[in-house]
Structure 1
Amino acid sequence: MQTMTTPRAPRSGCLTLNASYEPLVILPVQRAVRLVLDGRAELVEAHGTRVIRSAGREMPLPAVIRLVRFVYVPRRMRRGVTNTILFARDGYTCAYCGRHRDALRSREHLTRDHVLPQSRFARRAEANTWENCVTACSTCNNRKADRLPHEAGMTLRVVPAEPHFVHLEWKVRRLTALQRKYVTQFFGADVADAL
């Protein structure tokens, strides 16, 4: 087996498309190269003129690959609430004061707030739903404490809802303009705008 030397891989990795051109996942470049070499994927787009070399072979550095065989992916991807996706869903903005994370003071940070406090549920896990969780800055979350927003004299600026499965997967990913083009082509411009 030949070993190939990989130039410094882009931080965004390699976008992997299903055989139907549906964007599936961002893979490390080394894994994408292995899939192409094994014949399980084909190169669709390369990172400019960058190449990977071995003693007897040279290939373009993959930016986008497509699987040769179709992989079934269930449409309904219900996932639990995570802060990473929650913050991305809410645009890294406090649902109460409207400040973006870039506008927070040095000791402030984004937190998860339960619109209906956890203490009002029989089981705490029931409180962690997309419809009950919003992004809040630490100041607003402390001010609201264990109360409903109107009890604390606060107004909720958004209506929390479960994000579309595409947003769950792609909103938190670092895509290059080239990779974003494939997500847009498959899912539509409105999804790309939301990303």
Structure 2
Amino acid sequence: MPTMTTARATRRGCLTLNASYEPLVMLPVQRAVRLVMDGRAELVEAHGTRVVRSAGREVPLPAVIRLVRFVYVPRRMRRGVTNTILFARDGYACAYCGRPRDALRSREFLTRDHVLPQSRFARRAEANTWDNCVTACSTCNHRKADRTPQEAGMALRLVPAEPHFVHLEWSVRRLTALQRKYVAQFFGTDVADAL
């Protein structure tokens, strides 16, 4: 019988590393097992002592695998602003009052705020850039309304900028401490600590 910790870890998936040990993606554990059994990946770390058995083989339940062949991944990808990654970038706190999500009152919630209001752009899509969007609680967003922070007498607590691609990829993933170690080893502890 698996422990609760092992069961929770397997629901999170398996961290897949490139042949260079660069973290690539989280895969379902079943897919990771198939890659290991097919010889297209090797086991790096296992979830406890649990194993998966086939007719002629036994493989430990993978937590981290490494692809045998290198997969080229372009790094110049640009992702549009999504609330999920925006909120993670801003630490799930209001960029104006600084209150975190768990400190908001019952009818308050986190929203996307445009530093320079959408009405000042010829096309609304031009307003949705990483350097023009911040996380704001609904109260601050309503108070600011269709004005700039200066016009509303409000100060930003951060400088909005496009997050590092590592944050775009890993900030919303649920990594175990073991899996987080590999992200930190490849990209540096300062990048991993900001996740």
Tell me the TM-score normalised to structure 2 length.
0.93
Give the partner amino acid of 1:50. Answer: R
Q: What's the counterpart of residue 117 of structure 2?
A: 117
Q: What's the counterpart of residue 3 of structure 1?
A: none
Q: Distance in 2 between matches of 1:11 and 1:154?
A: 42
Alignment of 1:165-176 (within 5 A): 165-176=165-176
Give, in angstroms, the shift of residue 55 of structure 1. 4.5
Q: Distance in 2 between matches of 1:110 and 1:169?
A: 21
Deviating beyond 6 angstroms after TM superposition, the runs of 4 or more aligned structure 1 residues are none
Number of residue pairs matched by the alignment: 189
Give, in angstroms, the shift of residue 57 of structure 1. 3.0
Gapped runs of 5+ residues in structure 1?
1-6
Q: What's the counterpart of residue 50 of structure 1?
A: 50
Alignment of 1:66-145 (within 5 A): 66-145=66-145
Residues 116-153 of structure 1, C-alpha deviations (whole Å, 9 max, x = no match) = 00011001110000000000001111111111111112
Q: Distance in 1 between matches of 2:185 and 2:48?
A: 20
Query: Greater helix share, 1 or 2?
Result: 2
Q: What's the counterpart of residue 3 of structure 2?
A: none
Residues 25-58 of structure 1, C-alpha deviations (whole Å, 9 max, x = no match) = 0111111111111211111110011112344432
Q: Distance in 1 between matches of 2:38 and 2:53?
A: 16
Give the partner amino acid of 1:127. Answer: A
Give, in angstroms, the shift of residue 11 of structure 1. 2.7
Alignment of 1:157-172 (within 5 A): 157-172=157-172
Gapped runs of 5+ residues in structure 2?
1-5
Q: What's the counterpart of residue 63 of structure 2?
A: 63
How high is the sequence identity, in percent, across the aligned residues?
A: 89
Residues 73-132 of structure 1, C-alpha deviations (whole Å, 9 max, x = no match) = 012221100100000000000000100001011111110000000011001110000000
Give the partner amino acid of 1:76. Answer: R
User: What is the RMSD of the two structures over their aligned residues, measured on CA atoms?
Assistant: 1.3
Alignment of 1:10-49 (within 5 A): 10-49=10-49
Q: Distance in 2 between matches of 1:11 and 1:105?
A: 32
